[in-house]
Chain A
């Protein structure tokens, strides 16, 4: 047709008109695919060729599942709701805590104690009441994963454990859903669009899944949580925002054969779609390192693994194996067992330890203290020690202790020499944040011969500063 209107614009208009079937508004006899409010609300993205009317209709008809309404899920949900994604599902079993608020931007001080999904629904409804929110106030398990995920078009993995990441990826492969996966810790983030295109297991043209990239989980002991390692709000926020962006791109790029406008040159339209499909981004991993230059790096990833347990022709992960509970993701990923490295004689409870300190501070009749003040070594990292510490305690970070080679010959580390100078009748009391590193320190001190062949006692303060706060000093800061 030669009517001066470019073909791609025409395609878009026809496609949009078809999408709008049954939802058109009548005004002055004309039918518009969106309401007047929607034109105004989405105007700034509607005028972009990347979105346009057809893209907006796809967003409106799309449903996105956000698993985990934390540092990633909050910003992702906000931008998807703002963009007019028709249905947003939210999965989380947790309640809002005050330590979430520096990064989980949908929640607020007044919502502490409320469930995260309820808080998120309130926020999203306030932002855009065109969006239908579906709260799933539960944790994701093999037993409920397929039932929840099957209701949605695209999935965002905003969770924080390897077990949930494998489960969500496996479910997305089985249900043929594209998966936008992100994670963050400290100053860094990682982002992948997986199972895109979401071809059936065994189809080599499908995008790789999480197992293709990480066939085996990391040892549980190497997995660091945000609570242990720390997280900067804008870092995890950046990753969540990028997840929403990738989800929008996946939705807008979806080609739907049944929507091909019949009035147009059909061959052209089909070719266009085929080209679009070919253009699906090759798999890559985006690395965000906020204190490095450059901050972003993109890595080319492998395609589907020929022996992948989930997405290959020989996949062992099936709907049946998931439903029957024969796939134990927690066992697969392992559980980091609590440290129990010591004999009872090498440990002291925080209450007895507090008594020891009290005794040493008390003057007795003959003008002498009952006991010498205990030597207290705090093995938290310096940055934590600087936040708050016990009076008179000395800081030797565990990272320094653990990187000191006990088998090394030659001059020992300065800190070791300094500890050797402490009189032998003085015990060394080791304390940390939760009581794990302190036990490992006692072991390591013996390896470094700091116990002087048993002549010096080295004692773990059981439960660390957490127990100290819980049982001795309620005012000791919690962080």
Chain B
């Protein structure tokens, strides 16, 4: 991994969350390769980074559609990770990949999908 500062992360949004990310279902963002403490950036850092730097939301924290006031991903959102080193590149529930501790690699695909309820 490079020390040059940022790594590209591929994002996708679904279930309505795209509305808070420029209405784009997919986009690639440059994310600092190290977190505030100098450790390699992980999925938990990515969520914090997206919330503070990329997301467009200016309402009350309790109604934030992406993270809870405590900074966790809000209930009802699935976080999915596609590890670029895995051959099939299949997306998996991040709980299978270490959740917030998953260390980001260049071109990791991270997908945020809000559950739907209509029928």
Residue in B57, B63, B74 whose beta carbon sits within 8 Å of that of A403 in the complex: B57
Tell me if A289 and B14 are in contact (CB < 8 A): yes
12 A-B pairs with CB atoms under 8 Å apart are A157-B119, A184-B118, A188-B15, A213-B93, A214-B76, A219-B74, A225-B118, A229-B16, A299-B78, A299-B90, A300-B92, A399-B19
- The CA of A229 and the CA of B117, in the complex, are separated in Å by 11
Residue in B25, B78, B91, B118 whose beta carbon sits within 8 Å of that of A213 in the complex: B78
Tell me if A184 and B58 are in contact (CB < 8 A): no
Binds A, one of B1-9, B31-39, B44-52, B108-116: B108-116
Tell me if B116 and A183 are in contact (CB < 8 A): yes
Tell me if B93 and A300 are in contact (CB < 8 A): yes
Question: In chain A, residues 202-234, which have Cβ atoms closer than 8 Å to a Cβ of chain B?
Answer: 213-219, 221-226, 229, 231
Question: In chain B, residues 42-67, which have Cβ atoms closer than 8 Å to a Cβ of chain A?
Answer: 56-59, 62-63, 65
- The CA of A403 and the CA of B75, in the complex, are separated in Å by 22
B91: chain A residues within 8 A (beta carbon): 297-300
Residue in A183, A285, A298, A404 whose beta carbon sits within 8 Å of that of B117 in the complex: A183
A409 to chain B minimum Cβ distance, whole angstroms, is 14
B33 to chain A minimum Cβ distance, whole angstroms, is 27
| B94: nearest chain-A partner, CB-CB | A302
A314 to chain B minimum Cβ distance, whole angstroms, is 18
Tell me if A217 and B75 are in contact (CB < 8 A): yes
Binds B, one of A64-72, A112-120, A130-138: A64-72
Q: B80 an interface residue at 8 Å Cβ cutoff?
A: yes
Tell me if A229 and B118 are in contact (CB < 8 A): yes
A272 to chain B minimum Cβ distance, whole angstroms, is 28
- The CA of A186 and the CA of B119, in the complex, are separated in Å by 11
Q: A307 an interface residue at 8 Å Cβ cutoff?
A: no
- The CA of A439 and the CA of B119, in the complex, are separated in Å by 29
Contact surface of B with A, Cβ cutoff 8 Å: 14-16, 19-20, 25-26, 56-59, 62-63, 65, 74-78, 80, 90-93, 95-96, 113-119
B117: chain A residues within 8 A (beta carbon): 160-162, 165, 183, 185, 223-225
Tell me if A182 and B14 are in contact (CB < 8 A): no
B58 to chain A minimum Cβ distance, whole angstroms, is 5
- The CA of A225 and the CA of B118, in the complex, are separated in Å by 6
- The CA of A463 and the CA of B78, in the complex, are separated in Å by 35
Q: A406 an interface residue at 8 Å Cβ cutoff?
A: yes
B93: chain A residues within 8 A (beta carbon): 213, 285, 299-302
B116: chain A residues within 8 A (beta carbon): 183-185, 188-190
Q: A287 an interface residue at 8 Å Cβ cutoff?
A: yes
Tell me if B58 and A68 are in contact (CB < 8 A): no
B76: chain A residues within 8 A (beta carbon): 162, 214, 216-219, 222
10 extra A-B contacts, CB within 8 A, seeds A184-B119, A223-B117: A161-B117, A183-B115, A185-B116, A185-B118, A216-B75, A219-B74, A226-B119, A285-B78, A289-B14, A399-B19
Residue in B20, B78, B119 whose beta carbon sits within 8 Å of that of A160 in the complex: B119
- The CA of A188 and the CA of B25, in the complex, are separated in Å by 12
- The CA of A184 and the CA of B16, in the complex, are separated in Å by 11
Question: In chain A, residues 155-191, which have Cβ atoms closer than 8 Å to a Cβ of chain B?
Answer: 157-162, 165, 182-186, 188-190
Tell me if B78 and A185 are in contact (CB < 8 A): no
Tell me if B119 and A218 are in contact (CB < 8 A): no
A322: chain B residues within 8 A (beta carbon): none
Q: A405 an interface residue at 8 Å Cβ cutoff?
A: yes
Residue in A183, A222, A285 whose beta carbon sits within 8 Å of that of B119 in the complex: A183
B96: chain A residues within 8 A (beta carbon): 300, 302
Please give me the 4 A-B residue pairs with the lowest Cβ-Cβ distance, nearest first: A218-B76, A216-B75, A226-B118, A300-B92
Q: A292 an interface residue at 8 Å Cβ cutoff?
A: yes
- The CA of A218 and the CA of B118, in the complex, are separated in Å by 14
Tell me if B118 and A160 are in contact (CB < 8 A): yes
Question: In chain A, residues 269-297, which have Cβ atoms closer than 8 Å to a Cβ of chain B?
Answer: 285, 287, 289, 292, 297
Tell me if A70 and B119 are in contact (CB < 8 A): yes
- The CA of A402 and the CA of B96, in the complex, are separated in Å by 36
- The CA of A214 and the CA of B116, in the complex, are separated in Å by 12
B77: chain A residues within 8 A (beta carbon): 218
B16 to chain A minimum Cβ distance, whole angstroms, is 6
Q: 1/0 per residue A297-321: CB within 8 Å of B?
A: 1111110000000000000000000
Q: A73 an interface residue at 8 Å Cβ cutoff?
A: yes
| A181: nearest chain-B partner, CB-CB | B119
Tell me if B15 and A185 are in contact (CB < 8 A): yes
A72: chain B residues within 8 A (beta carbon): 119
| Interface-centre pick from B15, B25, B115 (highest chain A CB count, 10 A) | B115
A151 to chain B minimum Cβ distance, whole angstroms, is 22
B74 to chain A minimum Cβ distance, whole angstroms, is 7
A73: chain B residues within 8 A (beta carbon): 119
Residue in B16, B20, B58, B95 whose beta carbon sits within 8 Å of that of A186 in the complex: B16
| A158: nearest chain-B partner, CB-CB | B119
Question: In chain A, residues 227-276, which have Cβ atoms closer than 8 Å to a Cβ of chain B?
Answer: 229, 231, 236
- The CA of A404 and the CA of B59, in the complex, are separated in Å by 10
Tell me if B119 and A300 are in contact (CB < 8 A): no
Tell me if A214 and B63 are in contact (CB < 8 A): no
- The CA of A162 and the CA of B15, in the complex, are separated in Å by 15
- The CA of A409 and the CA of B59, in the complex, are separated in Å by 17
